[in-house]
Amino acid sequence: MRIMTRREFFREGAGLFLSASLLERISRFAPVLHASSGTELVIAQNGTPGELVDAALKGIGGIGKVVRKGQKVVIKVNMSFNQPPSRAATTNPELVGRLVEICREAGASEVVVVDNTLENGRMCMDTSEIKDAVVQAGGKIKVIDSRGDYEEVDIPLGRKLKKTELSKEVLGADVFINVPIAKVHGSAKITVSMKNLMGVVWNRGEFHTRGLDQCIADLSSLVKPDLIVLDAYRILMSNGPRGPGKVNEVGEVVVGVDPVAIDRYACELLERDSDDVGHLTAAYEMGLGEIDLDKVQMVYVDAQKGKDGSQVEPSEVETSDQDLVSPQEGPVAEEKESGVEEPLFEKEERGEVEEENEVGIPAILLIPAIIVSVLIGLRMRRHNVE
């Protein structure tokens, strides 16, 4: 039997190390594994929009789980229409303003709120009251309505949408937060987190010509927010997405990272059959999230319990038997905790070649490498003895 040399041992060990490093680099594009990853949504109730976003973020362990000092934060809101907040056609301005403040308090170097509005940008910013809220909170606001605001990117997992022109602000963000409002929609049935991403692409017309639902799912396979904050304080139940229509005062803010689970939950609030929402089904079939609410841990928090500085306590809820993870576990959290500042998208997708300093590998990837290395060492020792 051939004896394994020390050189061969170290060569095999290096191969395992590099394989683990490669897995880390592609983790942002890895699909959600329905059976093993789990999903958690934190649902804040009983408060003003500002109080609700505070409570919801405390429920995931604080904004520090997402935003670190010196990072640029880009927030995608829905301010596409020249409508006041009372009509629930645009994201609640108080919620947006408070979120900007929270990011600034966490040490963000810059917080930019963006949207590619469907109506006059200046009027939309003013009438929605989002501009005043953002400026008062110390943030910046930008209507990305010029082609120069976009850059073409490939969509590796896209089925119908293989490439698109995406917002440079989003591409340049250290942290990307999606802040939709829950509304019904004439074509897409609902417009929540995944549909809201159409506001960061230049050519929305091709979504309709190529197949709206699949294109929405394709875009969601590329643009993976670090955090989703769903405005369900006041939602539009009819004549969406512009309104005016029937408005329900739900009084909730929902926080998570799984767009499929959040949009599926919104179907319940909007009283829409999720089976009729084509992009929801398409995204689930692509492995982008969990569609079965029985497999989603929903943690309810009372915004009033945390106002005096005490710990926000989650309500007891039934969960599935599967292992559950918090919104900040998984690939995003591993990147944050390792100290490696990864862009929202891989550089190769923008046609750029840049050197990256790899600092550390997630423990879950190192464990198999260590085990195999030990086994190789034992084998080498046994062979040498023989």
| Nearest-angstrom CA–CA distance, 101 and 98 | 5
56: left (phi over 0), alpha (psi -120 to 50) or beta: alpha
Give the predicted TM-score (pTM) of the model.
0.74
- pLDDT at position 234 is 98
pLDDT value at 3 more than 70: no
Instruction: Read off the pLDDT of residues 43-102 as tens digits, 9 standing for 90 and up.
Output: 999 999 999 999 999 999 999 999 999 999 999 999 999 999 999 999 999 999 999 999
Mean pLDDT across the stretch 289-312?
83
pLDDT band per the 50, 70, 90 thresholds, residue 359: very low
Instruction: Read off the pLDDT of residues 124-155 as tens digits, 9 standing for 90 and up.
Output: 999 999 999 999 999 999 999 999 999 999 99
Label residue 69 exposed, middle or buried (CB < 10 Å: 0-12, 13-18, 19+). Answer: exposed
In this structure, are residues 177 and 76 in contact, taking their beta carbons and an 8 Å threshold?
yes
- Closest to 277 in 3D by CA, of 179, 155, 193, 165: 193
Pick the residue with more confidence: 297 or 24? 297
pLDDT value at 315 more than 90: no
pLDDT value at 30 more than 80: no
pLDDT value at 385 more than 80: no
- pLDDT at position 371 is 59
